Amino acid sequence: MQTVLYQFLIEIPQAAAIWSALLLLALALLAALVARPERESPSDAEPVPDPAAEEAARLADLRRYADEVAVAAAGAAQTARRRREQWLRAQDEVDRAWQAYDEAETAARRLAGAAVLPAPRTPRTPAEYATRERWLHHAAMGAHWRGELSARRLADVLAHRNGWDPRRHPAEQEIVLARVVRDVRRAGYRTAAEREQRAWRDAELAAEAARALAVEAYAAAAALRAGPAPVRRTESTTQALAPVAAGAAPARPARWRPARVG
């Protein structure tokens, strides 16, 4: 009994020393784990880029952009043709307006030369004034149907206002009517010329927009025809380096914005 008690008393300090050593070792390991930065988990690691996927995305962007700019260029070319046709029609209108004004100016000048001659003497009777009035109305109606007098001016003639006097001799009325027609033709020519200038500016702007979009469409098609560029790899890493082909877009370009007609 004494031997067992003796051994027990001797082994207690040894066990305490062992447990103390183990406790110190555990504390040291715990401190090392706390001080050591946590290793990144595989899920938090940055994904490895896929060169094939990036190249496919680049080509898809180029193809989409090339299609959009080609559609825009076709629409701009059609608009430019339409504006040019409008300008050509405006040119024809200017030519016709000038010809009409030139004829009216020639007629007014010829009648103005004849105005130096004295007017024929006719008896001033009610029948004569009625005849003069009928002549004036007939001449004004004819000028209106030929497009030489507007409806407002015709109304002035029929109402005998704004200087229209049916009591004048037909020779005098003819001179006044010729001058009015000349003024109307001149105003029509100026209006047609202004309209032609606007049509020309519109045609120039449309042609410039069509040329710019055609250049852009050609560049997009050339970049698309260049196709995928070879991928170069280094000895120390497998990460792809995006090559830039001559005249081609980078491997990871910004998203293309749709090109539209202006």
Nearest to 140 by CA among 129, 151, 126: 151
% of the chain at pLDDT higher than 90: 27
pLDDT of residue 257: 38
Q: How many residues does the chain have?
A: 262
Residue 201 pLDDT greater than 80, yes or no: yes
Q: What is the pTM of this model?
A: 0.57
pLDDT of residue 153: 86
159: its two tokens: 């109402």
**Amino acid identity, position 69:** V
Residues contacting 156, CB < 8 A, separation 6+: 162, 164
3-state SS, the chain, equals CHHHHHHHHHHHHHHHHHHHHHHHHHHHHHHHHHHCCCCCCCCCCCCCCCHHHHHHHHHHHHHHHHHHHHHHHHHHHHHHHHHHHHHHHHHHHHHHHHHHHHHHHHHHHHHHHHCCCCCCCCCCCHHHHHHHHHHHHHHHHHHHHCCCCCHHHHHHHHHCCCCCCCCCCHHHHHHHHHHHHHHHHHHHHHHHHHHHHHHHHHHHHHHHHHHHHHHHHHHHHHHHHCCCCCCECCCCCCCCECCCCCCCCCCCCCCCCCCCCC
Nearest to 189 by CA among 62, 98, 69, 87: 98
Q: What is the pLDDT of residues 148-173, one digit of tens each?
A: 888 888 888 888 888 788 888 888 88
What whole-number distance in Å separates Cα of residue 203 and Cα of residue 82? 8
**Domain at 51-120+169-225, CATH from 1.10.760, 1.10.238, 1.10.3470, 1.10.287:** 1.10.287
Residue 240 pLDDT greater than 50, yes or no: no
Decide if 177 contacts 143 (C-beta within 8 A). yes
Angle between helices 170-225 and 51-114 (to 10 degrees): 170
Q: What is the mean pLDDT of the chain?
A: 75
104: its two tokens: 């009216």
What whole-number distance in Å separates Cα of residue 235 and Cα of residue 49? 17
Q: What is the pLDDT of residues 241-261, one digit of tens each?
A: 333 333 333 333 333 333 333
| Highest mean pLDDT pick, 33-37, 96-100, 246-250 | 96-100
% of the chain at pLDDT higher than 70: 64
Residue 200 pLDDT greater than 70, yes or no: yes
Q: How confident is the model at residue 50 (pLDDT cuts 50, 70, 90)?
A: confident
Task: List the chain domain ranges.
Answer: 51-120+169-225
CA dist list (Å): 83 to 88, 95, 111, 206: 9, 18, 42, 7
pLDDT of residue 66: 86
